[in-house]
């Protein structure tokens, strides 16, 4: 496929004007800042891609309804979009989704279909056939990628001298969009993902797309990053535009979460992974002027309570 670039992202930004929040880039230490996507109306970056993709549909197709499969943030974003447009929304939800995220989707009026995690994509196709709605996938679509990339364009505009951006990876929509936005800028894009769901790192290092077992990736607390493989569209972007992909263990994710919460950044586990990735970089790379993307703040309350119960003094970012 032809890789997306800055012009595709700029076109998406025009559609998102007045809808997606231009979230701040908050400095936490000299040379290190975070992009606060937890401040979006639905608490995560997913609003960017969902609204852009839905807006690109012909009105009659959109009126028939929107359908997706999601463990939480994308489904919540699409439900928000559907409610704002006055159209139906169906979300196929895997059985391992965080209950707080499921409740948030329902609160926005989405019709939820609960299935086993491995059945989510086929169940979404069945919902499309049943409802006549249009599938808005969580990551593997050019309109989704371009919409998510607007976060990267904002970083480039708002953070003078940025040398690298660290981005969490699940299915790859966010990192693909940010890499497209930064294409040709000289800014390095680094992916970060849980070691328990390290299919993207394995793919990047092997030079070919890898798929991991569902039971393996389901073990990470970073529920938004439990994809078993990069998408057919996102993989070429990661392969060709991303400088490296690093993995972090569960203790590192918890540590980054504690550090971020201590400075007033209420992230979820997935939202802490990019910061954990930056903390894990070797000194030469870590010394570059960096922005890590806090992708969302819709945390699992039970998991967070356990993380914050650790009374060990929280290190600073300096």
Write out pLDDT tens, residues 189-215. 999 999 999 999 999 999 999 999 999
Tokens 């050019």 belong to which residue?
A: 142
**Residue 119: per-residue pLDDT:** 94
Long-range contacts made by residues 93-99, C-beta under 8 angstroms, separation at least 24? 93/69, 93/120, 94/69, 94/120, 96/71, 96/218, 96/223, 96/226, 97/71, 97/72, 97/223, 98/71, 98/72, 98/223, 98/298, 98/300
Q: Kindly state the helix (H) or strand (E) to which residue 131 belongs, with its residue range.
A: helix 120-131
Cβ density class 164-203: b for 16+ within 10 Å, e for less: bbbbbbbbbbbbbbbbbbbbeeebbbbbbbbebbbbbbbb
**Residue 101: per-residue pLDDT:** 96
pLDDT along the chain (318 residues), means of 10: 94 98 97 98 98 97 96 96 97 94 96 94 96 96 98 97 98 98 98 98 97 95 96 98 98 98 97 98 94 97 95 88
Q: Is 71 a catalytic residue?
A: yes
Q: Number of C-alpha atoms within 13 angstroms, CB side, residue 102?
A: 13
**Residue 149: per-residue pLDDT:** 98
Contact 255, 129 (CB under 8 A): no
Share of the chain above pLDDT 70, in %: 100
Tokens of 87: 């159209």
**Residue 316: per-residue pLDDT:** 85
**Residue 12: per-residue pLDDT:** 98
Find the catalytic residue in 35, 46, 101, 295: 46
**Residue 318: per-residue pLDDT:** 77
Rounded to whole angstroms, the Cα distance separating 310 from 116 reads 33
- In sequence order, which residues have a C-beta less than 8 Å from that of residue 312 and are 6 or more positions away? none
**Residue 287: per-residue pLDDT:** 93
Tokens of 109: 């009026």
Find the catalytic residue in 70, 71, 203, 227: 71
Q: Is 46 a catalytic residue?
A: yes
Rounded to whole angstroms, the Cα distance separating 174 from 194 reads 16
**Residue 172: per-residue pLDDT:** 98
């Amino acid at each position: 496929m032809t890789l997306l670039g800055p012009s595709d992202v700029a076109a998406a930004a025009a559609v998102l004007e007045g809808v997606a929040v231009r979230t701040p880039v908050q400095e936490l230490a000299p040379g290190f800042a975070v992009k606060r996507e937890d401040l979006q109306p639905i608490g995560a970056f997913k609003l960017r891609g969902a609204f852009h993709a839905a807006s690109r549909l012909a009105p009659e197709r959109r009126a028939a309804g929107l359908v997706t499969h999601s463990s939480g943030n994308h489904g919540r974003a699409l439900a928000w979009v559907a409610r704002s447009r006055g159209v139906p929304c169906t979300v196929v939800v895997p059985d391992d989704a965080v209950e707080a995220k499921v409740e948030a989707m329902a609160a926005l009026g989405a019709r939820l279909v609960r299935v086993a995690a491995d059945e989510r994509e086929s169940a979404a196709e069945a919902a499309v056939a049943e409802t006549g709605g249009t599938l808005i996938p969580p990551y593997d679509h050019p309109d989704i990628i371009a919409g998510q990339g607007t976060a990267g364009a904002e970083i480039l505009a708002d953070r003078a001298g940025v040398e690298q951006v660290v981005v969490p990876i699940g299915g790859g929509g966010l990192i693909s969009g940010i890499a497209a936005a930064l294409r040709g800028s000289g800014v390095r894009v680094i992916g970060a993902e849980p070691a328990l769901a390290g299919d993207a790192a394995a793919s990047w290092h092997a030079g070919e797309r890898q798929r991991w077992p569902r039971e393996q990736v389901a073990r990470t607390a970073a529920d938004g990053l439990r994809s078993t493989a990069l998408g057919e569209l996102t993989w070429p972007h990661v392969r060709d535009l991303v400088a490296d992909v690093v993995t972090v263990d569960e203790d590192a994710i918890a540590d980054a979460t504690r550090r971020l919460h201590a400075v007033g950044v209420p992230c979820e586990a997935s939202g802490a992974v990019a910061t954990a990735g930056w903390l894990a970089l070797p000194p030469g790379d870590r010394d570059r002027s960096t922005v890590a993307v806090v992708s969302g703040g819709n945390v699992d309350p039970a998991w967070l309570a356990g993380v914050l119960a650790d009374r060990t003094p929280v290190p600073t970012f300096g």
